[in-house]
Structure 1
Amino acid sequence: IRLPSGSEYVVLQSLEWNTEYEVNVVAENQRGRSQAGTLSFRTLPEPTAIP
């Protein structure tokens, strides 16, 4: 996902319940690219309905 200049966050959509994800982030500007930063997380389990 390429973000507009000055962006501070992105919303990840359509993620599955109770699934592990790994996101790699790289910043780029006129001076070059950063090393990739990695964020690992698991989404919450699907909520159960209240009877």
Structure 2
Amino acid sequence: MAVPKKRTSKSRKNIRRANWKAQARVEAQKALAKAKVILKSLDKTESTPQE
């Protein structure tokens, strides 16, 4: 028969949430860095005259 699991404590929930948010923050910073590199490379290709 199915038995409900024990309730997760507030502190454990907060630790997990903080960890998830920290990982999301790191990934967002990586994405921004990639976007900046791409924009800079596009800017350089547009400014160079093509023959």
Q: Say which structure, 1 or 2, has more relative contact order (CA 8 Å, 6+ apart).
A: 1
Same fold (TM over 0.5): no
Q: Which of the pair has more CA radius of gyration?
A: 2
Q: Which structure features the higher share of strand residues? A: 1
- Shorter chain as denominator, the TM-score bin is under 0.3
Tell me the TM-score normalized by structure 1: 0.23
Q: Which structure features the higher share of helix residues? A: 2
Tell me the TM-score normalized by structure 2: 0.23
